[in-house]
Structures are given as structure tokens and as C-alpha cells.
């Protein structure tokens, strides 16, 4: 039963990823990526990770995809590159390299790694939200605090980057002789 769910979800995830790559419309790509993230969230549930299931839905499906969609709409960049690839030879090479990468991973994994050796005896509810929180706030407390600095840096960086436009306005304002020109620019 669990295997059937896994296979169906894996197929949905692969379909989402493939359709994201092929789709010509950036909005469609973002929505196919959402499908893929949802499928991966279901896999987290199968892997006894309810906390990550919820986090995946909130952060990836809720925040990141919405951010992508906002930017696509903001830029009006939904129609795509019209096949103006300046390095035309890059595409077949990329396909070969990707095939090699996959073959390599599968080979290493099937020949070198003995997965059965690392299997630990099952612990009931080893990753309940409570257990994750305990690990996060005791053993991994320092990295957890560092994430707050990372997020703060990201927030400040985004604010600085998007303030660039208003800086231009300020430059215009100091140079403009009449204020009507300024309001037009804005």
C-alpha cells in the first residue's frame, strides 16, 4: 500500500519537474514546480516527517512559489526565450552530461553503498514535531540562531536592492530644474 502511494507520488513529482523544464510559459513552470513540491511534501509524510510536511507546504508552496509568481507578473516575463540560445551546442551537451550524472549516481549507489547497513531499529515517532523542536532548541541551538542572522541579512539585502529605484528618483530630483519633469519620471 505504502509502495503504491510512493510510486504514484514519485511519478507526479517527476512529471512536475519535467513539465517545469519543458514549459515555455514561466507561470506554467512555477505551477508545475508547485505540483512537484506538493508531491515531495507527501513523500515527507511517508517518511515519518510531519513537521517537514507542513514546513514544505508553508515555505515552498506558500511562500516561494507565490514569490516566483509575483516576480513573473511584475516583470511580465511569462513568455519565454524564443529559442535564442547563443550557445546552440550547449543543449545536446547538457543532455549528455545530465545522462552521465544520473548514470554515475545510480552506479555509485547500486554498487558502492550498502543501504541496508545503516538501517536503525524503528523508533516510534522519532521525528514528531516535538522531537524536531527538542533537537532544534538543544543540540542545534547555535545553527538555529545563525539562521536568524541569515534571514536578517537577506531581508536587508532585498530592501537595499529594491531601494535602488528610489535612489534614481533622488538623483533625478537633485538634477531636475522643474518639478513637472520629476512627476512625469515617477
Partner 1 sequence: MTMVVPTAYYVLLAATLFTMGALGVMIRRNALILFMSVELMLNSANLALVAFAQARQDVGGQVLVFFVMVVAAAEVAVGLALLVAIFQSRQTTDVDDISTLRG
Which CB, 122 or 179, lies closer to partner 1? Answer: 122
Which CB, 165 or 179, lies closer to partner 1? Answer: 165
Which CB, 157 or 171, lies closer to partner 1? Answer: 157
Cα gap 53→33, rounded to integer Å: 16
Q: Which residue has the cell 538555529?
A: 144
Report the interhelical angle of 129-137 vs 141-162 (nearest 10°): 90
The CB-of-147 to partner 1 minimum distance in angstroms stands at 5
Q: Cell numbers at residue 43, please?
A: 513523500
The CB-of-64 to partner 1 minimum distance in angstroms stands at 5
CA 62 to chain centre: 11
SS3 97: helix
Neighbours of 59 (CB within 10 A): 13
Which CB, 131 or 178, lies closer to partner 1? Answer: 131
Which CB, 161 or 179, lies closer to partner 1? Answer: 161
With a CB cutoff of 8 Å and minimum separation 6, the contacts of 178 are none
The CB-of-11 to partner 1 minimum distance in angstroms stands at 10
The CB-of-170 to partner 1 minimum distance in angstroms stands at 15
The CB-of-185 to partner 1 minimum distance in angstroms stands at 13
- Are the beta carbons of 37 and 61 closer than 8 angstroms? yes
Amino acid at each position: 500500500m505504502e509502495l503504491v502511494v510512493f510510486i504514484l507520488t514519485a511519478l507526479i513529482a517527476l512529471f512536475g519537474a519535467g513539465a517545469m523544464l519543458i514549459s515555455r510559459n514561466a507561470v506554467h513552470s512555477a505551477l508545475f514546480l508547485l505540483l512537484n513540491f506538493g508531491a515531495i511534501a507527501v513523500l515527507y509524510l511517508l517518511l515519518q516527517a510531519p513537521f517537514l510536511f507542513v514546513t514544505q507546504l508553508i515555505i515552498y508552496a506558500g511562500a516561494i512559489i507565490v514569490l516566483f509568481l509575483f516576480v513573473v507578473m511584475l516583470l511580465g516575463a511569462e513568455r519565454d526565450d524564443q529559442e535564442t540560445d547563443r550557445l546552440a551546442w550547449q543543449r545536446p551537451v547538457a543532455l549528455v552530461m545530465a545522462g552521465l550524472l544520473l548514470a554515475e549516481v545510480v552506479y555509485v549507489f547500486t554498487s558502492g553503498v550498502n543501504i541496508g547497513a545503516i538501517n536503525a531499529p524503528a523508533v516510534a515517532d522519532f521525528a514528531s514535531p516535538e522531537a524536531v523542536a527538542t533537537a532544534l532548541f538543544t543540540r542545534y541551538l547555535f545553527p538555529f540562531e545563525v539562521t536568524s542572522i541569515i534571514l536578517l541579512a537577506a531581508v536587508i539585502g532585498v530592501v537595499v536592492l529594491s531601494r535602488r529605484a528610489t535612489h534614481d528618483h533622488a538623483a533625478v530630483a537633485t538634477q531636475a530644474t522643474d518639478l513637472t519633469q520629476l512627476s512625469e519620471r515617477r
